[in-house]
Chains A and B, each alone.
Chain A
Amino acid sequence: MENKTIYTEIITDHNVDPYHKHELEGANLILEGVNPSCGDDITLSLKVEDDVVVDGAYQGVGCAISQASADIMLDLVIGKTKEQALRLSELFLNMIRSEITDDELEELEEAGLLKDIAHNPSRTKCAVLGWRTLREMFGVEFEYEEE
């Protein structure tokens, strides 16, 4: 049987050799995000100056999806303004809900590789963990889907 895998090389690279998994000196925003039911736990650190994310990092434990997704997110948002980062995170959440256009998907770059996770409800919260933590750091409450 073919493994309809989300574990593409890019995803596993971000998990095995993350670029942004370390402590961040000079961070001025720090928030922990957890998925209590599966034990994914990341602490996101950002250095934000004049509403620009000048640097970011994360630390934590969890499944490959949660870790890679956070790493990819940081690739994308470092250097962006707070508004741009929030917009990207909204696109990501829309993607997970399968409500995204092809153009919008392009904007997400590597994060778009996690699109198919939408078909596996038990894994979407892993993919979303970093992104919702980022939103919460910028003061946007994460609305959990009504079950």
Chain B
Amino acid sequence: MPNFTLNINNKDYSVEAESDMPLLWVLRDILDLTGTKYGCGVASCGACTVIMDGNAVFSCQRPVGACVNKKIITIEGLSEDGNHPVQKAWQKARVPQCGYCQPGQMMRAAAMLGKNKKPTDETISSEMSNHLCRCGTYHRIKEAIHIAIEEINK
């Protein structure tokens, strides 16, 4: 089986996997980084979102073979101890219900704010609409993103 070196959360990992295995399953099943979630496998829900070279990507759509020489950040590596402005904002707005979609939602928000500290409502809306939350926490996600924007622009 082929071997790949992946840079995840600023650490190099060597993994053995079929080259078409999506990053999602490499993270979850080989590296036990289960904070990245499976929701659909077909780019329809956003649960699997990670940050790759600064962009939010669906890890279910990235074969491991295409992930070498990239800087990958997962929810486990978003911050040392949950103190990324997005996580703090999520905490303040008490966003999660079941919480299952939230790692993906937060990774998207973090990537968006990493590129643009003052996104317009239209940008926020089109970015966040890549994600589903069956528990319906959209109202609070909106609130949390605005808290985070305020925080990073202080």
A pairs with B: no
